[in-house]
Amino acid sequence: MTLRVTDELTVGASYAYTQVKIPPTPNPFLGNVLFPVVVVFTPPNAAAAFADYELPLGSGGMSARFHLDAAYSDAAYSFQSEPTVKTGSSFIVNGRIGLSDIPVGTTGQTFTLSLWGRNLFDETHIYRRSAANAGVLGDYANFNPPRTFGIEGTVRF
């Protein structure tokens, strides 16, 4: 759902619920033994929300823009062959602040300068996990990227 609350403010949210029930299926690589079937990288619950605010500056079309978004995901399976191993749940918040449509030159060119941040709360979670070598080396996992910041400039001509 997306709502344009005012001319300056837009907000939105989404939610997904996924329930999958697949009966155990013969695995030809294991002598047709019945094997549980799971759907990978599909959490039972996932939600996201965002807010965009645009503040006009002067009469030349320039504006200040603010964006904030957040996403939540339940734990999920990351490998079909490991139906008891799940990733971690996650909650990530991102943001962006920018000056947009700054006039440059006399031919209608504009410049936009933005500061952005991903994973603003520096949340850590496992997005891929395997227990394939648990008996010898233990589980292994991949973690999400840490908090990152950046500057972006765009010229339109």
- The pLDDT tens digits of the residues spanning 124-141 come to 999 999 988 888 888 889
Percentage of residues of the chain with pLDDT beyond 70: 100
- Burial (0-12, 13-18, 19+ Cβ within 10 Å), 72: middle
Q: Which residues pair with 3 in a beta bridge?
A: 11
| 96, two tokens | 């962006």
- The pLDDT tens digits of the residues spanning 79-126 come to 888 888 999 999 999 999 999 999 887 788 999 999 999 999 999 999
| Full-model pTM | 0.83
Band the pLDDT of 27: cuts 50, 70, 90.
Answer: confident
C-beta neighbour count of 80 within 10 angstroms: 12
Asked if 96 and 118 count as a contact pair (C-beta separation under 8 A), the reply is no
Asked if 16 and 45 count as a contact pair (C-beta separation under 8 A), the reply is yes
